Amino acid sequence: MSDYRTKRELGEGRWDKILKKRMVSLSVADNYDDAKEEWIATGRVWWGHADAAPDWVTNTSNGRGKCLCGHTVVYHFEITNTENGNVECVGSDHINTYLIIRAIAEEHGVPLDTITDEEIQQWLKERVNSLKAVAWWEENGENFEKMFNRVKEIDLHFNVRNTNDWYWDNECSMSRRVTKIRKKGQGEFGTPNYKMASIVWRWNHPDNPKNQRDKYGYPNELLMRDLSYLFVTSKPLIEGLEKYKQTIEETKALVAQRRIQVAAEKERRRLEREERIRLRNEQWERERPAREAAEKIRQLKLKKEREEREARRLEAERIKSIENERYLAAHHDDFEHMCSYYGMPAFDSSFGNTPQEINFLADIKIQLSKREMLSNRQIQWLKDILLTKATEKQMNYLVSLGYKDTESFETMTRRQASNLITKLKREKDDSMD
């Protein structure tokens, strides 16, 4: 036979024998081995408290308070015969049989011989606990709800622990310490140092996966002890909480009023600032014609000053250029000796293309006339002016202008050629006039 026969079989005791006999008498089969196959536990349980029993208890063979075997019971487990529909009750001692195994097997669709003792005990525990919860609530529920509803708010306010973290309460405009629900009590109950674990956390807090409401359906003794104590001592705590809440609301109101005042002052300053800007803009527009006229006069004055300054500069350069040309045309022995020293021709103003070059050549002649040495930079610029050979294009252009001394092209520098081209073009232009 299957293993279930050795798990929860009825024995040969007095009440077991009576139960076997009565189950057979109420079955289709005429022997226990076959008769027990007809019976199954329905899962309905009733606790024999003072209230009226349900019909499926009172209509059984032995009625309320009795097992089918005749033994007195507290818990009534309904069983039914699947062949003829008879309904009876057995106690917790006799429900631990094949009746439960068959119920579990049919409920989960598994073979009978796979049902374990643990599954049987769990089946019983769930139904008995559920029944105890119902019975407890019928007897204590109203009082519990009264006490819990009175203390739940002060519980969440006082039964907390302080952390080292702070947060900014914008409504109160202050830093406040972060608190967390006290999940574990500290100290000895009833002493001044006792710190109670939160009632709400233990009973029905949604963040507590093991809260007693969902796990058991009713509170345990420790929770009831703490709840009763908190209820009895709640009056000063409620008064303290109400005073605290009033202080918080007054602080919020003051902060809100202050913010309204600040906002109003800020708006006033904004309007004043906008008005000042508007008036300033209007004045700016009124003064625009005079300002633009004054600016035009100033620009004309600056232009005139720039033109006069430029004219003075050009005149000074012209005068200096004339003086430098005169100086460059004069004979100086020391100058010529120094030119030979540097391997350069004794130059005059004709070697310069621009007033700047003529002035540079004059400065160099002064320096050489004093037998002063030249810097590398000065030498390089002199070479650029004096020694760079005339290009073929320049020589061809000179020929087209009527220049006859083509032999001089061998030694003619680019600067000399440029000066000759300018001179010949000017002479040609003058002759045409």
Give residue 4's pLDDT: 34
**pLDDT for 180-207, tens place per residue?**
999 999 999 988 889 999 999 999 999 9
What residues does 80 pair with on adjacent strands? Answer: 40, 87
- Print the SS3 string covering 208-225: CCCCHHHHCCCCCHHHHH
Give me the pLDDT at residue 208, please: 95
Q: Which sequence spans correspond to the domains of the chain?
A: 3-115, 140-232, 303-375, 388-433
**Tens digit of each residue's pLDDT (9 = 90 or more) over 285-299:** 999 999 999 999 999
- Reading the block at residue 169, the tokens are 């309460």
Instruction: Flag residues of the chain having pLDDT under 70.
Output: 1-9, 48-51, 96-98, 128, 130-132, 135, 433
Distance CA 81, CA 79 (A): 7
Task: Give the pLDDT score at 364.
Answer: 92
End-to-end CA distance of the chain: 147
421: Cα within 13 Å, side-chain hemisphere: 19
Contact criterion met (CB below 8 Å) for 211 and 191 = no
The DSSP string of 59-123 is TSSS-TTB-TTS-B-SEEEEEEETTT--EEEE-HHHHTTHHHHHHHHHHHT--GGG--HHHHHHH
| Cα distances (angstroms) measured from residue 385 to each of 44, 218, 325, 353, 355 | 125, 115, 16, 9, 13
Return the half-sphere exposure (C-beta side, CA atoms, 13 A cut-off) of residue 343: 4
**Position 312: which residue type?**
R
Structure tokens of 346? 């004794």
Q: Taking Cα atoms as reference points, which of 73, 202, 66 lies closest to residue 128?
A: 73
Angle at 331 between CA 349 and CA 417, to 5 degrees: 30
Q: Is 32 left (phi over 0), alpha (psi -120 to 50) or beta?
A: alpha
Q: How far apart are CA 108 and CA 112, in angstroms?
A: 10
SS3 352: coil
Rg of the chain (C-alpha set): 60
**Residue 7: what pLDDT?**
41
For residue 387, the model assigns a pLDDT of 76
Distance CA 327, CA 365 (A): 9
